[in-house]
Structure formats: C-alpha cells, structure tokens
Amino acid sequence: MDYILKGHEMSDDVVSVLMLFFQNEKYVRVEEAGEGLTLLSYLDEKGAGARLYENKKEVAFFYCEKSPTPFLEEKREIKRVIGFSASMALKKYKSLPLPWGILTGVRPAKIFTEFYESGMAEEDIRTLLKEKYLVEDYKLSLMEEVSKNERQILKKGEGKVGIYIGIPFCPTRCLYCSFTSYPLSQYGKKKGAYLDALEKEIVFSSKYIRDKNIESIYIGGGTPTSLDEEELERLLYLVEKYFPSPEEYTVEAGRPDTLNREKLKILKKYNVGRISVNPQTLNQKTLDTIGRKHTVEDFISAFYMAREEGHEHINTDIILGLPGEKEKEVENTFKGLEKLSPESITVHTLAVKRASRLKEQLDSFELEDYRTMDRLVNYARECTEKMGMFPYYMYRQKNMLGNFENVGYCKENAACVYNVEIMEEKQSILALGAGASTKLVNRATNEIERIFNVKSVDDYISRIDEMIKRKEEGIKWL
Ligand code: SF4
C-alpha cells in the first residue's frame, strides 16, 4: 500500500492509520499515486486532509480542521488532524468499526493519565477523547479504569527502580512468537555460557542499584524455567546476592512443560512471590496447532503443583483469536481457569508479528474477524469480572486482530507492579540479558533514554564486555 505526504513528515502517524485498515501490508512512501491504493495525507494552515486513490482515481476524501483546545498543544493537535483525516478517508472506502477511534498508540491508558496529570477534569478528558479522538464508550471506561488503577501503583514506585533479566530459551518456538527465544533442542547446550555472561552483567550492574530501592524484579524471556534445577538455583542465588530485597519478585514459568516440583521449591526458596504459568488456551487442539508441545493436563498439574509448593500468586496468560478458537473454545478456557482461580490473568489478543512463524504461514490459518474478536474481548472482561478481577494494565500492539488490546486483570492487591511500570514509563528499568533494553527515565524532565543489548544468544555471549561497556557509557542516571 502506497502513501504520499505533503506539507508534513509524519510518516509514522500515517502508517499507523494504514495499519488499522490494511494489516500485514508493506507501506511504501511514493511521490504520486500509481496502481492499487494510495493515500495522500496533507497539512495546510487550517488543518489536514486525506485523499484515497484507487488506480490513480480518487475514491475518498476527508478534511479535518484544527480546533485549538485547552490541554491539547499545537503538535498534538496536528498529529490528531492528520490521524483523523486519514482514518475518515479510509473509513469511507472500507467500513471498519474503530472502538479505539483514531488512537493508534500502544499505551491508551497513558494518554488518559497524561491529560489527567496536566490538570484536566476526568469528565473533560472523556469528552475530548470521545469527540476529538472518537473513542467508543466501552473503551473509554476501560481506559479510565486502568488509568486510575495504574496511577495508584505508580505513586508508590516513585524514586525506586525495576530490574529485568531475560532468559531467552524455550522448549519450542510458539507459532505467534516474536520474542528473543531460542529452542532448547538447538541452544540448550549454550545455557551455561549464557549464564556465565549474565553473571558478569549482573555483578557489573549491581553497582547502579547500591543506593536504590528495588521495587520489582522480573525474570522473563523466553522461559526462565527452561534452565535446569542447578542453573535456576545459580541464577536466583546471584539475583539474591546482587539485587537484594525487591518489593516484588516475578519469574515467568510460562511453559508448564518446563516445571517440576524441584524448580518450584527453588523459586520458593529464593522468595519469588509471583510466577506465571501460561496455558494460552485450554483446548488441546489449539495447543497442538500453536506448537506448545504440552497438554492441557500438563498445565493443570503444573498449576496445582505450584499451589502445593506454596506459590500464592500465580498469573496465567491466555490469547484470544488463536486459530480455530471462537466463543465455545474461549468459554472452555475460562471455565477451566475459574476452577483454578489464579490471582491474575493477562488476556492477550493475537498479533501477527513480523518475526513469527504465524506471519510466514499466514495463508494456512483462518483468523477471526473484527466482530468475533470484539465479542471475545468483551466476554473475557465479563469472565474476569465474575472472578473478582479488575483491569490494571493494558497495551496495544501493531497488527493485533481487530486492533484490540492486551489487558492484565487481577484480584485485589495482586497487580504486577513491574507490568505497570514498564508500560507507563515512569521508572527506570535496569535490563540484563540477550535482547534486554535498559530504560532510563528522568522524572524531572520526562526524558527517556534506552540502552540495548544484542538479541542473539551467541552475540550476547561473545560480546558481553561490549554490553557492559554500553551500560557504563550509557547510564547517566537511574
Ligand atoms: S513461550 Fe513465549 S517466549 Fe517462548 S516461544 Fe512461546 S511465546 Fe515465545
């Protein structure tokens, strides 16, 4: 799909709108309309317009005038009119419900929070989002609730830091995965060398947190419990020694097939307070399709075993929109989860990510349409509410089915603080391991800087001194 820009250079904003309407396409900036569809987005003194051409012939047009509003500074208003005109022109051509209106960003609750913190009354924020961004009521109420819950959590995190440690190994690679994850069959023998490099980074980085309060530690990946018992103990021992006394401590034990009683005991011994055991679905046929290589029963036994070993906070992740899953299948998943009664559930909407097998094999799967996804997303909200949970964090990704959202639901006092902090970007997060990116947040100036580690396990191992040097040169504050 082609696009033309005139009078502005806001390519990302225009491409984000194109992605809402035409997912999984290549978006190419051109100088003039050619064969197929081309969107022209232009900015003039009064506002922004969009013209859609099909085989060089104009098929839709929309113009949006700027209308200065308190709290909406000029730059934001320009972004808005460009997004608005492009969305409306495309909507004339392709009728598509837009529950999030013209909001394309990944952090909808953050927008609500920003307006709130700039002094706007909640009612005025609702009106602004509804009228100028066309957000529908049910998404507005979700945004508002998440923003409120997040604000409470963020207040407690001021002046503290978070730590992320990545363990990029998994038993197999899931169909939809785009994370830094390496299958054990090929990379298992590199775990020892990986931990050697990680130990170097942990020891070096500990100097930055000596005078800090650690609010949260999150060991993710990959699947950290892909490490064997000895390796897991080695890692947790190092974390305890160099990053002591976090207020919250999470380890992703995502794949049930990596768990056993011994590992659950080790997690407990090192005071891990929250683990994630993720079924993604409780339908065996789907588990087979997505390449998880474990059964529904494996998940249920792992969950009960974790309870027996005293794990009081278990999170479960599920994904809506997996191939072949409609209401009946999602209902079955929730029925199972209700019986297990986890403390929190993260409900994802399937996203077709560039680096995933799903993207490569897209033609082999029939994915759900907008209407089904809308029903599934709303159904998940009802079910979690019935289980005594409320939404406490949320984010959107590119190429999500139906352009919906991922939402973390939890019971009272069971929110994962790390999830909120990483999403809302109010706290510095020191990140270690392959693919990890350290985020330095300056609360006084709202500046954010990032320091990236290399993604590949081999590069991480061989270039660990360089990763450490990147931190040494890049960390100006924490
Ligand atoms: S468990 Fe998570 S990180 Fe591992 S392959 Fe599956 S989606 Fe990727």
- For tokens 């409900």, the residue is 347
Å from CA of 207 to ligand 1 middle: 31
Instruction: Report the residue among 223, 289, 292 best suited for mutation to probe ligand 1: largest number of ligand atoms under 8 A from its CB.
Output: 223
User: Which pTM value belongs to this model?
Assistant: 0.91
Å from CA of 309 to ligand 1 middle: 24
Instruction: Report the residue among 169, 174, 252, 255 best suited for mutation to probe ligand 1: largest number of ligand atoms under 8 A from its CB.
Output: 174
Residue of 459, 451, 416, 434 lying closest to 179 (CA atoms): 434
Give the Å distances, CA to CA, from 235 to 153, 175, 194, 263: 28, 28, 11, 12
**Residue 387 DSSP code:** T
Å from CA of 61 to ligand 1 middle: 43
Check the CA dihedral 67-10-369-147 and report its sign.
Answer: negative
| Rounded distance between C-alpha atoms, residue 84 and residue 89, angstroms | 9
Please answer whether residues 4 and 40 qualify as being in contact, where contact means their C-beta atoms are separated by less than 8 angstroms: yes
Å from CA of 200 to ligand 1 middle: 25
Q: In this predicted structure, what is the pLDDT of residue 23?
A: 79
Q: What is the DSSP string of 200-229?
A: HHHHHHGGGGTTS-EEEEEEEES-GGGS-H
Crossing angle of the two packed helices 229-242 and 191-205, in degrees rounded to 10: 10
Strand partners, 345: 316, 409
Å from CA of 179 to ligand 1 middle: 7
- Minimal-distance CA residue to ligand 1 atom 3: 222
pLDDT by 10s per residue, the chain, length 478: 999 999 999 999 999 999 888 877 889 999 999 999 999 999 999 999 999 999 999 999 999 999 878 777 888 899 999 999 999 999 999 988 889 999 887 888 988 998 998 899 999 999 999 999 999 999 999 999 999 999 999 999 989 999 999 999 999 888 888 888 899 999 999 999 999 999 999 999 999 998 899 999 999 999 999 999 999 999 999 999 999 999 999 999 989 999 999 999 999 999 999 999 999 999 999 999 998 889 999 999 999 999 999 999 999 999 999 999 999 999 999 999 999 999 999 999 998 887 788 888 877 888 888 888 899 999 999 999 999 999 999 998 877 777 789 999 999 999 999 999 998 888 999 999 999 999 999 888 888 999 999 999 999 999 999 999 999 999 987 8
| Rounded distance between C-alpha atoms, residue 127 and residue 102, angstroms | 15
| Rounded distance between C-alpha atoms, residue 123 and residue 265, angstroms | 49
Q: Which amino acid is at 309?
A: E
Across 235-246, b (16+ Cβ under 10 Å) vs e yields bbebbbebbeeb
Residue of 325, 244, 234, 239 lying closest to 279 (CA atoms): 325
Find the residues whose C-beta lies inside 6 A of ligand 1. 170, 173-174, 177, 179, 181, 221-223, 254-255
**Residue 330 DSSP code:** H
Closest ligand 1 atom to residue 170 Cα is 4
Please answer whether residues 179 and 453 qualify as being in contact, where contact means their C-beta atoms are separated by less than 8 angstroms: no
- For tokens 């837009």, the residue is 98
| Rounded distance between C-alpha atoms, residue 286 and residue 260, angstroms | 24
Residue of 310, 388, 379 lying closest to 343 (CA atoms): 388
| Cβ contacts of 74-83, under 8 Å, gap ≥ 24 | 78/8, 78/10, 78/43, 78/48, 79/10, 79/13, 80/132, 80/133, 81/43, 81/47, 81/48, 82/8, 82/10, 82/13, 82/14, 82/41, 82/43, 82/48, 83/13, 83/16, 83/17
Cα 453 to the chain's mean position, in Å?
19
Closest ligand 1 atom to residue 183 Cα is 5
Q: How far apart are the first and last CA of the chain?
A: 42
Element holding 167 (H helix, E strand): strand 161-167
- Minimal-distance CA residue to ligand 1 atom 2: 222
| Rounded distance between C-alpha atoms, residue 293 and residue 257, angstroms | 8
Instruction: Report the residue among 255, 319, 358 best suited for mutation to probe ligand 1: largest number of ligand atoms under 8 A from its CB.
Output: 255
Give the Å distances, CA to CA, from 151 to 112, 157, 162, 192, 417: 11, 10, 17, 41, 11
Cα 451 to the chain's mean position, in Å?
19
| Rounded distance between C-alpha atoms, residue 110 and residue 146, angstroms | 9
State whether residue 348 is helix, strand or coil: strand
Å from CA of 222 to ligand 1 middle: 6
Residue of 195, 211, 193 lying closest to 203 (CA atoms): 195
State whether residue 428 is helix, strand or coil: coil
* All domains of the chain in start order, with CATH: 1-96 (3.40.50.10150), 157-465 (3.80.30.20)
Please answer whether residues 254 and 279 qualify as being in contact, where contact means their C-beta atoms are separated by less than 8 angstroms: no
Give the Å distances, CA to CA, from 317 to 38, 179, 208, 474: 39, 15, 32, 34
**Residue 454 DSSP code:** P
Cis peptide before 222 (omega within 30 of 0): yes
Give the Å distances, CA to CA, from 284 to 281, 329, 364, 407: 8, 10, 19, 24
Q: In this predicted structure, what is the pLDDT of residue 362?
A: 78
Å from CA of 478 to ligand 1 middle: 30
Q: What is the 3-state secondary structure (H, E, C) of 19-77?
A: HHHCCCCCCEECCCCCCCEEEEEEECCCEEEEEEEECCEEEEEEEEECCCECCECHHHH
Q: In this predicted structure, what is the pLDDT of residue 178?
A: 83
